[in-house]
């Protein structure tokens, strides 16, 4: 379907181009009562909700899909944190029982334990019923960029092992192409000779028309940022997003020996829950 239209033309004309490409029709829910009546944009939509509130709304909607007895992949980041809080609350109230969480980071494991979610791992639970996680970018085909928090490897392992992967985002995460936010597309690399790997990545991606650079991620003190797996992150940047065959680009990156994994999640998400500023929710299905 995508080949028949010019995405750039559509982007200019349609505020949510994602609605054109999702394989099933999106479902929508009405604006949230707290969204601020009267603060609308002229199209009947309020503008009163903070981004944090949007994240909470998307997260709570996703947690509605959790059933007692499920094995649930627990995402990482500020949006997923709302899902952890909600899941913990439902377990404490007895509304859900016998849920096992598979955390995608050490931080998520600590948070989940603090709110009372029993934890396990993929070794003990290799099949996950449902994962819930945020994303940094979502493209019209429900491909994602993840890992700006550094958790991409464990996230991808767990989310790819899930029967369903529900992504929760506020509408600022929607992009016409991966990389189009001009923010980082992360790649996890082994520390050994990471400058060599960085050069290899640059050489590979110089073929990309919009590639604008690659940089080792650093912590606040200037030392290399360390993932939960004691690896480094190299952040890739694109001025206007990644063009061409994403799977071929993914394969090219993964063929570089020092690369462990990258933050493009291609074809893994089964559903994306988008919370808008007016509190309405759009559900995009694969």
Ligand X SMILES: O=C[C@H](O)[C@H](O)[C@H](O)COP(=O)(O)O
- In the set 53, 137, 155, 261, the catalytic residue is 155
Residue closer to ligand X (CB basis): 31 or 186: 186
DSSP 176-221: SSTTTTSS-EEEEE-STTHHHHHHHHHHHHTTSTTEEEEEE-B-TT
Residue closer to ligand X (CB basis): 103 or 150: 150
Residue closer to ligand X (CB basis): 77 or 101: 77
Residue 155 known to be catalytic = yes
In the complex, minimum distance from the CB of residue 235 to ligand X, in angstroms, rounded to a whole number: 12
Q: Please name the residues in contact with 101: beta carbons below 8 A apart, sequence gap of 6 or more.
A: 72, 73, 74, 87, 112, 117, 118, 119, 120
In the complex, minimum distance from the CB of residue 274 to ligand X, in angstroms, rounded to a whole number: 13
Residue closer to ligand X (CB basis): 80 or 273: 80
Which 3 state secondary structure label does DSSP give 173? helix
In the complex, minimum distance from the CB of residue 275 to ligand X, in angstroms, rounded to a whole number: 12
Q: If 0-12 CB within 10 Å is exposed, 13-18 middle and 19+ buried, where does residue 84 land? A: buried
Measure the CA–CA gap between 9 and 188, rounded to whole angstroms: 34
Residue closer to ligand X (CB basis): 148 or 277: 148
In the complex, minimum distance from the CB of residue 173 to ligand X, in angstroms, rounded to a whole number: 7
Measure the CA–CA gap between 148 and 178, rounded to whole angstroms: 13
Show the 3-state SS of 97-144: CCCEEEECCHHHHHHHHHCCCCECCCCCCCCEEEEEECCCEECCCCCE
In the complex, minimum distance from the CB of residue 79 to ligand X, in angstroms, rounded to a whole number: 3
Q: Are 31 and 87 in contact (CB under 8 A)?
A: no
**Secondary element (H or E) of residue 85:** helix 78-93
Measure the CA–CA gap between 61 and 169, rounded to whole angstroms: 11
In the complex, minimum distance from the CB of residue 144 to ligand X, in angstroms, rounded to a whole number: 8
Residue closer to ligand X (CB basis): 21 or 225: 225
Which of 62, 107, 113, 110 lies closest to 86 in space, CA to CA?
62
What is the binding site for ligand X (CB under 6 A)? 75-80, 133-136, 146-152, 155
Which sequence positions are flagged as catalytic?
155
């Amino acid at each position: 379907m995508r080949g028949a239209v010019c995405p750039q033309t559509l982007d200019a004309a349609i505020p949510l181009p994602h609605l054109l490409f999702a394989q099933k029709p999106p479902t929508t829910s009405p604006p949230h009562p707290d969204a601020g009546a009267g603060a609308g944009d002229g199209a009947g939509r309020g503008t009163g909700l903070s981004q944090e509130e949007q994240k909470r709304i998307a997260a709570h909607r996703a947690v509605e899909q959790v059933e007692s007895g499920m094995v649930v992949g627990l995402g990482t980041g500020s949006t997923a944190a709302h899902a952890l809080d909600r899941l913990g609350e439902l377990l404490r109230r007895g509304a859900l029982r016998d849920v096992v969480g598979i955390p995608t980071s050490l931080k998520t494991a600590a948070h989940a334990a603090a709110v009372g979610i029993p934890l396990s791992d993929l070794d003990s639970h290799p099949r996950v019923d449902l994962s819930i996680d945020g994303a940094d970018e979502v493209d019209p085909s429900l491909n994602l960029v993840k890992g700006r928090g550094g958790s991409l490897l464990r996230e991808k392992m767990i989310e790819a092992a899930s029967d369903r992967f529900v992504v929760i985002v506020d509408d600022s995460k929607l992009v016409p192409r991966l990389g189009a936010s001009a923010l980082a597309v992360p790649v996890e690399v082994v520390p050994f000779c990471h400058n060599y790997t960085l050069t290899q990545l640059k050489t590979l991606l110089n073929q990309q028309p919009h590639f604008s650079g690659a940089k080792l991620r650093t912590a606040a003190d200037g030392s290399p940022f360390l993932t939960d797996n004691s690896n480094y992150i190299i952040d890739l940047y694109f001025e206007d997003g990644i063009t061409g065959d994403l799977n071929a680009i993914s394969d090219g990156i993964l063929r570089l020996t020092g690369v462990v994994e990258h933050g493009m999640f291609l074809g893994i998400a089964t559903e994306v829950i988008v919370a808008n500023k007016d509190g309405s929710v759009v559900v995009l299905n694969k």
